[in-house]
Chains A and B, each alone.
Chain A
Amino acid sequence: MLVFGKFGALTFGGGYAIIALMEDEIVHRRRWMTTDELMDLIAIGESTPGPIAVNTATFVGYKLAGIIGSIVSVLALVLPAWAVIFAISGCYLTLRDNPWVAAALGGIRVAAIVLIIQACLRMGMKLKRNWFNGIMLTASFYLVAFPSVSAFYVIMGALLIGLLWHGIRPRFLLKNQEEQP
Chain B
Amino acid sequence: MIYLTLFLTFFKIGLFTLGGGYAMIPLIQAEVIDRHGWMTLEQFAEFVGIAESTPGPFAVNISTFCGVTTAGFLGSLCATAGVVLPSVIIILLIASMANRVLNHWSTKSALQGAKPAVVGLLAVAAFSLAGHAFFKGEGELNLTALLLAAGLFTLVRVFKLGAITLILCGAAAGVALQLCGLSF
Which residues from chain A sit less than 8 Å from chain B, CB to CB? 8-15, 18, 40, 43-55, 58-59, 62-63, 67, 70-71, 74, 77-78, 80-82, 84-86, 88-90, 92-93, 99-100, 103-120, 123-124, 127, 132-134, 136-141, 144-145, 148, 150-152, 154-163, 165-168, 171
**Known contacts A141-B120, A141-B121: does B20 contact A58 (CB below 8 Å)?**
no
**Known contacts A50-B17, A107-B174, A123-B122: does B183 contact A14 (CB below 8 Å)?**
no
Check B114 for interface membership: any CB of A closer than 8 A. yes
A109–B45 contact, CB under 8 A? yes
**Known contacts A12-B53, A15-B58, A104-B174: does B113 contact A48 (CB below 8 Å)?**
no
A108–B50 contact, CB under 8 A? yes
Task: State how many angstroms separate the Cβ of A36 from the closest Cβ of chain B.
Answer: 13
- Residues of chain B lying within 8 A (CB to CB) of residue A134: 116
Q: How far apart are the CA atoms of A159 and B164 in the complex, in Å?
A: 34
Which residues from chain B sit less than 8 Å from chain A, CB to CB? 12, 14-27, 29-30, 34, 42, 45-46, 48-61, 64-65, 68-69, 73, 76, 80, 83-84, 86-88, 90-92, 94-95, 98-99, 102, 105-130, 133, 145, 148-149, 152-153, 156, 162-164, 166-167, 169-175, 177-178, 183-184
B87–A93 contact, CB under 8 A? no
A18–B57 contact, CB under 8 A? yes
Q: How far apart are the CA atoms of A104 and B90 in the complex, in Å?
A: 40
**Known contacts A14-B21, A52-B21: does B30 contact A78 (CB below 8 Å)?**
no
Task: State how many angstroms separate the Cβ of B148 from the closest Cβ of chain A.
Answer: 5
**Known contacts A49-B86, A140-B120: does B48 contact A163 (CB below 8 Å)?**
no
A116–B125 contact, CB under 8 A? yes
Q: Show 28 A/B contacts (Cβ-Cβ < 8 Å), sorted by A.
A: A12-B55, A49-B86, A50-B15, A50-B17, A50-B87, A51-B24, A51-B84, A55-B87, A78-B57, A81-B55, A81-B56, A84-B54, A84-B61, A104-B171, A104-B175, A105-B46, A107-B172, A108-B50, A109-B49, A112-B46, A115-B48, A119-B21, A120-B126, A137-B119, A154-B120, A162-B112, A166-B109, A167-B105
